[in-house]
A and B are shown apart, each in its own frame.
Chain A
């Protein structure tokens, strides 16, 4: 009987997730630092950075009247350089009306619905990425502050839990690579820490702009898991955890990544 209980306890302990060591603040590194000098130069030079095309397109959209209300973003928010400075650096942010966090793309679509009476832009659409990139670029160089709002705490905890949870046919958690093996290489490519410092990014592999959600879905498919849907609570929780994990790191949008 005692043996049985001992075996049960042992089995229960064995089932507990082994919590990986989180990266100390001083050791955090942007994906930028893992890149080749060519890719770094592409990000650093606004005339060579393909993400700047999205910024320009976003700037036009910012000033274009949309929807049944016939209002442009600028009609309420004015000059984005002032009104949007630091905003992307604190997203995902808690939405009191919804009682949950929303990410920057969701915030843009909520604004379109409520204030412009316009239909939402589809996930990963050119327009949504362009507006998000334009808004985020206003925070370029600003430290990430996501998570300062205490209302986010339970959602960050949920995101952390998902980050630590093994998943998919390959049975790997985000943490197994991005906390424990970030200085190693997966088939020749730097693993990196998964710090989301430059989204939306121009990714050379995609030959296009893309969101953090698209990037997370790529990793989930890589471990042969069923990727979370765009905009799902789980996806936003993961984004939120990742951004809070990068608290204090400067935003780089529009970043270039391999």
Chain B
């Protein structure tokens, strides 16, 4: 019960959430085979996350989301991304794309170390939580040519 209340509070107040340890993961090849949460993600929630500007995906990428008016073109279009990459590859690209391309401009969405001058509201927190990453991975996997 206490754990549920705690989760609820963290979800309702993301900016005051206490920094939490990240789930551990292991990289095999250029991917992460296992879900960060141990559970499959929810593609419907993932779609909503990609469409939400605060997740930041859509600022740089375009995606097949006709209702989102202003999409970026700094990074590859996400249409067909599920055909180009496997689920483990998509997961590592979200978690820490710098692991296989050190000069990428893609932020590491699940990393808190090795960063400089992080603003107070974001210190010690990854850009996205493990569950959000799994949801987005599940959605991206559905974007097939």
Residue numbers of A with Cβ under 8 A of B are 14, 18, 165-172, 176-177, 180-181, 184-189, 191, 221, 224-227
Total chain B interface residues with beta-carbon distance under 8 A: 27
A-B contact count (CB 8 A): 75
Tell me whether A169 and B122 are in contact in the complex, defined as CB-CB below 8 angstroms, given that A18-B103, A181-B105 are known contacts: yes
Known: A169-B118, A226-B117. A189 touches B70 (CB 8 A): yes
Identify which of B71, B73, B115 contacts A171 (C-beta below 8 A). B115
Q: Which residue of B lies closest to A19 (CB)?
A: B103
Question: Is the pair A188, B117 in contact by a Cβ cutoff of 8 Å?
Answer: no
- List the 7 closest pairs (A to B, CB-CB), nearest first: A188-B70, A169-B122, A18-B103, A170-B107, A187-B59, A187-B70, A167-B117
How many angstroms between the C-alpha atoms of A166 and B117 in the bound complex?
Answer: 9
CA distance A176 to B106 in the complex (A): 10
Instruction: Tell whether, in the assembled complex, residue A191 and residue B118 are in contact, meaning their CB atoms are under 8 Å apart.
Output: no
Sampled A-B contacts (30; CB under 8 Å): A165-B116, A167-B117, A169-B107, A169-B118, A169-B119, A171-B108, A171-B115, A171-B116, A177-B105, A180-B105, A181-B105, A184-B74, A185-B72, A185-B73, A186-B72, A186-B74, A187-B53, A187-B58, A187-B59, A187-B70, A187-B71, A188-B69, A188-B70, A191-B74, A221-B119, A224-B118, A225-B118, A225-B119, A226-B117, A226-B119
Min CB distance A164 to B, Å, is 12
**B127 within 8 Å of A (CB atoms):** yes
Query: In the bound complex, what is the Cα–Cα distance between A42 and B91 (angstroms)?
Result: 47
What separation, in Å, do the CA atoms of A14 and B72 have in the docked complex?
A: 28
Q: Name which residue of chain A comes closest to B124, CB basis.
A: A169
Q: Is B125 an interface residue (CB 8 A)?
A: yes
Contacts of B118 in A (CB 8 A): 167-169, 224-226
Chain B interface helix/strand/loop/mixed: loop
Nearest residue (CB) in B for A168 is B118
Cβ of B74 and Cβ of A167 under 8 Å apart?
no
Neighbour of A18 across the interface among B59, B102, B119, CB < 8 A: B102
> Considering the chains assembled together, what is the distance between the CA atoms of A171 and B97 in angstroms?
12
A186-B72, A225-B117 known, 11 other contacts, Cβ within 8 Å: A166-B116, A167-B117, A172-B107, A180-B105, A185-B72, A187-B71, A188-B70, A224-B121, A225-B116, A226-B118, A226-B119
In the assembled complex, the Cα of A13 lies from the Cα of B53 at a distance in Å of 34
Most buried by B among A172, A186, A189: A186
In chain B, residues 72-95, which have Cβ atoms closer than 8 Å to a Cβ of chain A?
72-74
B105 in contact with A172 (CB, 8 Å): yes
- Name the contact of B72 in the complex, choosing from A176, A188, A221, A225 (C-beta under 8 A): A188
Q: Tell me, rounded to whole Å, the shortest Cβ–Cβ distance linking A31 to chain B.
A: 17
B127 to chain A, nearest CB (A): 6
Bound: A172/B74 CA distance, A: 13
